[in-house]
Amino acid sequence: MEKYRVGVIGGTGMVGQRFISLMENHPWFQLTAIAASSRSAGKTYEEAVGSRWAMAGEIPAEARGIVVQDAEADAEQIAGAVDFVFCAVDMKKEEIRALEEKYAKLECPVVSNNSAHRWTEDVPMVIPEINDSHIQLIHSQRKRLGTKRGFIAVKSNCSLQSYVPALHPLLKYGLEKALVCTYQAISGAGKTFATWPEMVDNVIPYIGGEEEKSEQEPLKIWGEIVDGKLVKAQGPALTAQCLRVPVSDGHMAACFMKFADGKAPSMEQIKADWAAFSGRPQALNLPSAPKQFLHYFEEENRPQTKLDRMLENGMAVSIGRLRPDTQYDYKFVCLSHNTLRGAAGGAVLLAELLCAEGYMEKK
């Protein structure tokens, strides 16, 4: 199969570096262009990233010599050279919205990690195992943008990539509310311990905007399409506290859940639902899809960030410590890799889904 030619916008950043790593040896995707700010433009990727390279292993050989382009000034050239782009940039929201629409209108699909378009009504925000059907919104989005190929599809925030998949198979029991505390890694802020030494031996109880995203984005994911627009779900009610903890990669969440009166399933049933759960990526056997999306650990001291974040190449969700609670029905702990499943890996899986479902026809 001829590979899709792929560009990475924001390729020098923390998430961008993950994209570059994931493109190496990808069976469907060929890294073709890298773009970032004007600060990096004109340098080879190796020069532009320099000491910021934060991935395990070397910079992939195929990326090292690529000359980084200016994401804004060179947009037309990049859009003409690739079949689609991934986008993960640190810019103002209005600037990101404009940049992503510019690529879409240049007939270049954008699969984005940024939050700027997550609440645009006709932009699908997708966790491929959960709401793959929302990619149909692309038809109405293309009408609005006046495009044939171009569109924007986004993935949701990294904080919720563990507890939303865990809660999803339990919605059928009338899940009324959930309370979640997240313990989030520093790579989620684009940082390492070298660039953020204040985080060593420290916890910061504030991540700007994260609690609202953790409470609201699940309702879009669980929403339905009405007249070409996404109408968000009314429930379950979610409340969240998000803390930054001294961990390099991996967001943990402690979650409490309450079902409608008399409807709470047994613990055995919940574990069986988690074990049986799979979605469209597994049915289509997509290259980045974990074989088993939700893994339950019976050991009392699991999941652990260091031990379990790379489960199934960082694309699976680890769950443990399911037990009854005194105020809610049950509580449990869950973990997902924030720059793999929670960012670049989740976006690569979404791109694979869009290819398999016929939304990314090659030029």
DSSP state, 179?
Answer: E
Geometric angle at alpha carbon 306, from 335 and 275, rounded to 5°: 40
Check if the beta carbon of residue 89 is closer than 8 Å to that of residue 114.
Answer: yes
Using the contact rule CB under 6 A, the part of the chain among 21-29, 85-93, 201-209, 217-225 near ligand NAP is 85-93
Euclidean distance between CA atoms 20 and 200, whole angstroms: 28
CB nearer to ligand NAP: give 43 or 232.
Answer: 43
> 96, exposed or middle or buried, with CB in 10 Å at 0-12, 13-18, 19+?
buried
- Please state the φ and ψ torsions of residue 223, each to the nearest 5 degrees: -80, 180
Contact between 16 and ligand NAP (CB under 6 A)? Answer: yes
Least distance in angstroms from the C-beta of 327 to ligand NAP:
31
Contact between 71 and ligand NAP (CB under 6 A)? Answer: yes
Instruction: Please name the residues in contact with 283: beta carbons below 8 A apart, sequence gap of 6 or more.
Output: none
Euclidean distance between CA atoms 316 and 312, whole angstroms: 6
Euclidean distance between CA atoms 112 and 153, whole angstroms: 6
Contact between 91 and ligand NAP (CB under 6 A)? Answer: yes
> 256, exposed or middle or buried, with CB in 10 Å at 0-12, 13-18, 19+?
middle
Using the contact rule CB under 6 A, the part of the chain among 124-132, 166-174, 213-221, 338-346 near ligand NAP is 338-346
Among 33, 186, 343, 350, binds ligand NAP (CB under 6 A): 343
What's the length of the chain? 363
Using the contact rule CB under 6 A, the part of the chain among 86-94, 169-177, 237-245, 292-300 near ligand NAP is 86-94
Contact between 40 and ligand NAP (CB under 6 A)? Answer: yes
Helix (H/G/I), strand (E/B), else coil: 29: strand
Contact between 89 and ligand NAP (CB under 6 A)? Answer: yes
Active site residues: 158, 251
Least distance in angstroms from the C-beta of 187 to ligand NAP:
5
CB nearer to ligand NAP: give 149 or 341.
Answer: 341
For residue 39, what are its two tokens?
């600060």
Residue whose CB is nearest to ligand NAP in the complex, by number: 13
Among 218, 236, 303, 342, binds ligand NAP (CB under 6 A): 342
Residue position matching structure tokens 């779900």: 233
CB nearer to ligand NAP: give 156 or 321.
Answer: 156
Among 20, 22, 82, 88, binds ligand NAP (CB under 6 A): 88
For residue 245, what are its two tokens?
């903890």
Residue position matching structure tokens 């190449």: 313
Contact between 82 and ligand NAP (CB under 6 A)? Answer: no
Neighbour tally for 193: CB within 10 Å:
13
Helix (H) or strand (E) holding 217: helix 210-221
Q: For the window 238-257, what string marks contact with ligand NAP as x by the rule CB under 6 A?
A: --------------------
CB nearer to ligand NAP: give 38 or 239.
Answer: 38
Among 21, 32, 69, 113, binds ligand NAP (CB under 6 A): 113
Using the contact rule CB under 6 A, the part of the chain among 35-43, 134-142, 293-301, 316-324 near ligand NAP is 35-43
Contacts to ligand NAP by CB under 6 A = 10, 12-16, 36-37, 39-40, 71-72, 88-91, 113-115, 158, 187-188, 190, 338-339, 342-343
